[in-house]
Structure 1
């Protein structure tokens, strides 16, 4: 697939620090995150914060290289595929050790994929296409599909709702022991204080060069501490002072201040992704399509983006789910459905839908400050349309918990990076909060995911996007650029949507 947008290429406004061959082993780094992750089980959550932390602890069979191509991680190589596209034979790397000292074998992989299909939203998405997963021998796993399923490898590579490999005996629905194969292992977690990871001396890295999330993973650091810093202004001041080695997700208006700092420098990914309003299509007010359409008509998304990101160098009003630099870009479905800003028209539609003044419950968090700013603008437009708005501002961990219960909300605000495979989008999974599950969704999504030909898949994606606009499980607000900060004392941190700290080192 033609992906002009790669996270290690021209999208980055500063180049990643070049790690010298003489990188020193040792050092402790503190990483400021937007808050406390709701879990350390990467299968059980789609929260980016969970993936950022746990990708250092757990590993998947595959991952993505710097060009967003699937590349082996725990698998020895890309799978052998049958001519009909329904059988994947996966050879495993030998000598891989879990943090408890046991060696990884095929039975661990079979058990882990079974758990993934049972509890992970993206695993459930794949499960309906999978006939069976078997251990052919101790180092070989075979996945047999009911029908071809093009996104399978991307799903197995993704660190979000991730198909991580766990010991076969550690497969309870609620994770009781945080044991993976990754370069760092959990030493201590103090809620609301830090998550302490230390080097796993039994780690076996892939050979060769580092390549995005793939290739060699060097363990230069002794210890990584992820520290929750929920207040965005505090994160900005911490970046300017150099209090943390890395500061995630700082407001874009602080870019110039960080740039002028002597302690840190900003990293901007352009475009990073898109903020979304996700509708509860299962229960409550927004389960009514007419109500969802009234919300869509009422909102001026450009005003929301301006409030959230300020200068236009940080955002673009764009209704397409992929920007023009992606092969997946299409405007189909957006015409007459994006950035309407017509609260008067929405009020008429709302009255015709029989709206009775019931509060529209919107979940948001100030830990992502741009979420909150968009929510404030949206609330005013929605009030003009006649909605009674209940804006519920909570911490991110609480939001991710509440969104799992369809009785508690109508809209929640989130965002996503632009993903290499559209089927990775959470909204396409019927088990993802929002629970979009209609005959039109099934027809469009199943046709898209079962087609192997790349050119035909591009055309089928147009139908999926149109269906998303027709049925509105979520409302895309626009494109935005993400800003973080890295200390001048830290090198080897490559700009990435989910920052990772293997290969990073402290300057001597």
Structure 2
């Protein structure tokens, strides 16, 4: 299946094969992030910020190459899958050490996967399909399923709600010791100041050429520091002045200023992903699907995108969950349900749905400034439709905590990159905040995930998207391009939805 993400580096930032660089060893890389991650346990969170930091410390059995194909990481090779699609035999690499000096073996993997299916939202997606996870021998793990489950290897590869491998004796919930197999290990975390990672000298890289998140992971840097810089304008000024070596998630209106800086160059990922409004389908006003439909009817996706991203150079109006360059792209369910912008009709629909003026609690953050701008536009359209709006603006870490409580919100605003496997979309899991759990969801999602034929899965994904538009667990707002920035001294960093800094180096 030809799945791809078109990644564009703008403003003369030319992606050069890493093999052509004589990269220097040493140095401290300073990365400005949108804030403080809520946890350093990647199983326990779906926040992108958690994955960005922890992917340097922890590793999974598989990951994704530059073409978004699953490729082995801690596994020796791709799994051997039985003819009936129920048995996955996974050979592990030898000589892999944890940060505490112990050797990785199959019992560590089994314990970690059991923790994952119990704790992680994406692990819980898998749990119902799993019969057993067993250590066949010290270097082999066998996963036996109750029925075929096509997304399994993609879920095992994902760095978000990730199936990381930990030592068998360090499986605490919550995590107490942050011991992984990654190229960098945690030295110090000072809340709201920095997370300091240092080179793990016992790391064993893969021998293949680096490709996306896969292949060789070289440790040119001595240290990586992730520094929370919650204010978007502060991040822009820090980028222009050269204060940091990499600056994540910048407002698109900063592009021209970044382009004119001598210290920094902009990096544009096009298309990056899509902003979404996630509904609480379990409690509160939005539990009523008719109220959710009235809210959607009121909103102008176009006005929200324009407010958030300014120029159509940075956004596209598109109701398909996947854009046209993905084989998953379909318009199922979209017609008549996207960018309706009819607050008067929505007011009538809300009244018929039994809406009585209860506050619609919108949870958002200014650390992602485009979230906040969309929320402001949405609030005005909802007020025109007669809804009472309670806008709750909090920091991102607080938002990720509050969204886990069914009693605290009706809509929260987030975004997602376009994921290589639709089953990775968080809202498909009944345990994901929003708690979409209807017969229509179960029918569509179960049929999609149990089918292994790629062509049939594309057709079945259209049924899932239609169920999304019928039940409205979330609303896609449109497509957008993301802007970050990197120092002119930083080499070996290819643009990626979750930026990574193994293979990166700093020129003196």
TM-score (norm 1): 0.99
Match of 1:421 in 2: 421
Match of 1:15 in 2: 14
Match of 1:189 in 2: 189
- Superposition pairs of residues 21-32 of structure 1, within 5 angstroms: 21-32=21-32
Q: Which moved more, 1:14-23 or 1:385-394?
A: 14-23
- 1:18-44 CA distances to partner (integer Å, 9 max, x unpaired)? 444421110001100000000000000
- 1:221-264 CA distances to partner (integer Å, 9 max, x unpaired)? 00000000000000000111110000000000001110110000
Rounded Cα–Cα distance in structure 1 between residues aligned with 2:14 and 2:275? 25
Match of 1:444 in 2: 444
- 1:53-102 CA distances to partner (integer Å, 9 max, x unpaired)? 00000000000000000000000000111000100000000000000000
Task: Determine if the alignment matches structure 1 residue 169 to structure 2 residue 169.
Answer: yes
- Superposition pairs of residues 95-134 of structure 1, within 5 angstroms: 95-134=95-134
Assess if the C-alpha contact under 8 Å between 2:4 and 2:68 holds in 1: no
Residue 16 of structure 1, CA deviation: 2.7
Match of 1:332 in 2: 332
- Superposition pairs of residues 79-158 of structure 1, within 5 angstroms: 79-158=79-158
Change (3 A) 1:13 1:272: farther
Task: Determine if the alignment matches structure 1 residue 308 to structure 2 residue 318.
Answer: no
Match of 1:283 in 2: 283
Match of 2:368 in 1: 368
- 1:149-207 CA distances to partner (integer Å, 9 max, x unpaired)? 00000000000000000000011221000010000000000000000000000000000
- 1:376-412 CA distances to partner (integer Å, 9 max, x unpaired)? 0000000000010000000000000000000000000
Rounded Cα–Cα distance in structure 2 between residues aligned with 1:213 and 1:291? 42
Rounded Cα–Cα distance in structure 2 between residues aligned with 1:206 and 1:62? 12
Partner of 1:43: helix, strand, or coil? helix
Assess if the C-alpha contact under 8 Å between 2:5 and 2:418 holds in 1: no
Rounded Cα–Cα distance in structure 2 between residues aligned with 1:184 and 1:295? 46
Change (3 A) 1:306 1:13: farther
Assess if the C-alpha contact under 8 Å between 1:290 and 1:349 holds in 2: yes
Residue 13 of structure 1, CA deviation: 8.0
Match of 1:392 in 2: 392
Rounded Cα–Cα distance in structure 2 between residues aligned with 1:493 and 1:242? 17
Partner of 2:148: helix, strand, or coil? coil
Partner of 1:306: helix, strand, or coil? helix
Partner of 1:216: helix, strand, or coil? coil
- 1:109-147 CA distances to partner (integer Å, 9 max, x unpaired)? 000000000000000000111111000000000000000
Match of 1:404 in 2: 404
Partner of 1:94: helix, strand, or coil? coil
Task: Determine if the alignment matches structure 1 residue 359 to structure 2 residue 356.
Answer: no
Partner of 1:248: helix, strand, or coil? strand
Match of 1:430 in 2: 430
Task: Determine if the alignment matches structure 1 residue 53 to structure 2 residue 53.
Answer: yes
Stretches of structure 2 that go unaligned for 5 or more consecutive residues are none
Count how many residue pairs are aligned between Structure 1 and Structure 2. Answer: 507
Q: Which moved more, 1:52-61 or 1:167-176?
A: 167-176
Assess if the C-alpha contact under 8 Å between 1:6 and 1:67 holds in 2: no
Rounded Cα–Cα distance in structure 1 between residues aligned with 2:148 and 2:262? 54
Residue 320 of structure 1, CA deviation: 0.3
Partner of 1:5: helix, strand, or coil? coil
Task: Determine if the alignment matches structure 1 residue 78 to structure 2 residue 78.
Answer: yes
Residue 208 of structure 1, CA deviation: 2.1
Match of 2:212 in 1: 212
Q: CA RMSD in A?
A: 1.1
Match of 1:63 in 2: 63
Assess if the C-alpha contact under 8 Å between 2:9 and 2:267 holds in 1: no
Rounded Cα–Cα distance in structure 2 between residues aligned with 1:315 and 1:83? 44
Match of 1:199 in 2: 199
Rounded Cα–Cα distance in structure 1 between residues aligned with 2:80 and 2:21? 35
Rounded Cα–Cα distance in structure 1 between residues aligned with 2:6 and 2:383? 40
Match of 1:292 in 2: 292
Rounded Cα–Cα distance in structure 1 between residues aligned with 2:488 and 2:16? 9
Assess if the C-alpha contact under 8 Å between 1:32 and 1:229 holds in 2: yes
Residue 6 of structure 1, CA deviation: 4.3
TM-score (norm 2): 0.99
Residue 12 of structure 1, CA deviation: 10
